[in-house]
Amino acid sequence: DAGDETTDDRLARCVFRGLGGGSGGGQPSSSLRPDHYGLRWFIRSWISMAFRRRSFGLLGRAGALAARCGISMDQVLCGEGSALGGLAEAIDAALGGGKSGGGGGSGGEHELSLENNNNSMDFLVPILLAPSRIQKTLWAASLDRRRLRWAELPNTLITAVGCNTNRPRAQHGFSINGDTDSRGLHSGIAPGLLGDDDLSHLGDRWIWVRDMDRGMSRYLVSPAFERDIVSWENIQATWDANDREVTSMFVPNSDMESYIRTLMYQISLHSVPGLDAKCSRHLGKVRLLTGIEVDVDVVSCLAINGLDRAFMYIEYRRRNVSRSSSCSSMSSFNMQAQVQSQAQAQAQAQAQAQIQIRAQAQAQAQAQFRAQVQSQ
């Protein structure tokens, strides 16, 4: 039953269907080739989350996808053959690769090449053998549990969705020479200088953003999204509890397939590292806090900032707004304004009904008066 599938199940099914190539082990027929940067990020994100969540199911899907695409374990776990730079291979080649009989390939030199390979998934080592009973402790120690701040979003994402401001921002980059830390934040801007987030510039836009960092997630929601759809506290608590999907709280099951296809399309846009984020749009629905499902234009944008971090931006825009509007003019309707307009319409209807009642009473009085005159 498709209704019982998780998002991961649907993602896997969508990817395998898109890869094509049959079951004969041939090369996939789609644009998601083994060296596709977005595909590498996607597989690594599943592996990271599988170990964080202690999920053999998710790990199996990631392994099956990598095998189907012809991606080796070294390419996934060690970052070998990636378009980001192949630092480990370059160092090994410079040192002789350890394959010749010369003395240029000592164990220490191999350790150097691994330590400097920022594309590896070495962050999994501390949690790989950690029992599930202490995962919460590791989670609390390794993740800043505060809200994701608007100032932390990469500029390429903010530019794509038309939300530029002049406030200080963290600078994200793709450097592998130590200028950026493991979370992709530029070391030149201290987090404290970013200040508290003021999201008033978002107005009544329904926006939520997910920061996916090495198998962990943080969220940002606009004030209107919290007011009309679901609060940040409920979203983060749902992620922490891991007993249901976050999107199940506001994405109707009938619209999940479109959501998955859009996510895969966004991933496909990142064939190589460093590409700017791009918006896409599809028709969909969103479930409000009241349980009502509203027809919307769903605006999506994925920014991949390294093989182990990405930001997914989703905005829901009322369907009856002209589609010719650009991303910069996208805004969702204000529920309070809708309620007020409905109340005004009801008041007008009641006033018109009273006018009609008075008119009928006057007509009856006039008829009675004429009847009395005629009888006299």
Amino acid identity, position 245: E
Per-residue confidence (pLDDT) for residue 350, from 0 to 100: 79
Q: Residue 371 is part of which domain span? A: 346-376
Cα 242 from Cα 132, distance rounded (Å): 13
Verify that 166 and 222 share a domain, yes or no: yes
Query: Does 12 reside within a domain?
Result: yes
b/e map of 337-363 (b: 16 or more CB within 10 Å)? Answer: eeeeeeeeeeeeeeeeeeeeeeeeeee
β pairing state of 216-221 and 206-213 = antiparallel
Query: Does 101 reside within a domain?
Result: no
Verify that 35 and 74 share a domain, yes or no: yes
Strand partners, 299: 281, 315
Verify that 322 and 374 share a domain, yes or no: no
* CA nearest neighbour of 187 among 211, 174, 170: 170
Per-residue confidence (pLDDT) for residue 189, from 0 to 100: 33
Query: Does 335 reside within a domain?
Result: no
* CA nearest neighbour of 25 among 64, 59, 58: 64
What does the DSSP assignment read for 239-256? HHHTSS-GGGGTS-GGGH
> Which pTM value belongs to this model?
0.68
Cα 54 from Cα 215, distance rounded (Å): 11
Q: Per residue of the chain (376 residues), give pLDDT as tens.
A: 444 456 666 666 666 665 544 333 334 334 568 889 999 999 999 999 999 888 899 999 999 999 988 899 999 998 776 544 444 445 445 545 444 344 444 444 434 344 445 688 988 888 888 887 777 666 665 555 678 999 999 999 999 998 765 555 555 443 222 233 333 333 333 333 344 567 888 889 999 999 999 988 999 999 999 999 999 999 988 988 888 889 999 999 999 889 999 999 999 999 999 999 999 999 999 999 999 999 999 999 999 999 999 999 999 998 865 444 434 444 334 444 454 556 666 777 777 888 888 888 888 888 887 787 777 6
Verify that 274 and 367 share a domain, yes or no: no
Query: Does 275 reside within a domain?
Result: yes
Q: Is the dihedral of CA 277, 31, 42, 19 positive or negative?
A: positive
Verify that 369 and 318 share a domain, yes or no: no
Verify that 324 and 352 share a domain, yes or no: no
What values do phi and psi take at 180, rounded to 5?
A: -115, 145
Verify that 225 and 358 share a domain, yes or no: no
Per-residue confidence (pLDDT) for residue 330, from 0 to 100: 42
Query: Does 340 reside within a domain?
Result: no
Verify that 44 and 189 share a domain, yes or no: yes
Verify that 252 and 373 share a domain, yes or no: no
Per-residue confidence (pLDDT) for residue 247, from 0 to 100: 93
Verify that 372 and 285 share a domain, yes or no: no
Verify that 255 and 359 share a domain, yes or no: no
Query: Does 102 reside within a domain?
Result: no
Number of domains in the chain: 2
Query: Does 99 reside within a domain?
Result: no
CATH number at residue 43: 3.30.450.20
- Return the percent helix, strand and coil in the chain, to nearest 5: 50, 15, 40
Q: Is the dihedral of CA 71, 74, 78, 80 positive or negative?
A: negative
Query: Does 285 reside within a domain?
Result: yes
Verify that 262 and 189 share a domain, yes or no: yes
Q: Is 207 in a helix, a strand, or coil?
A: strand
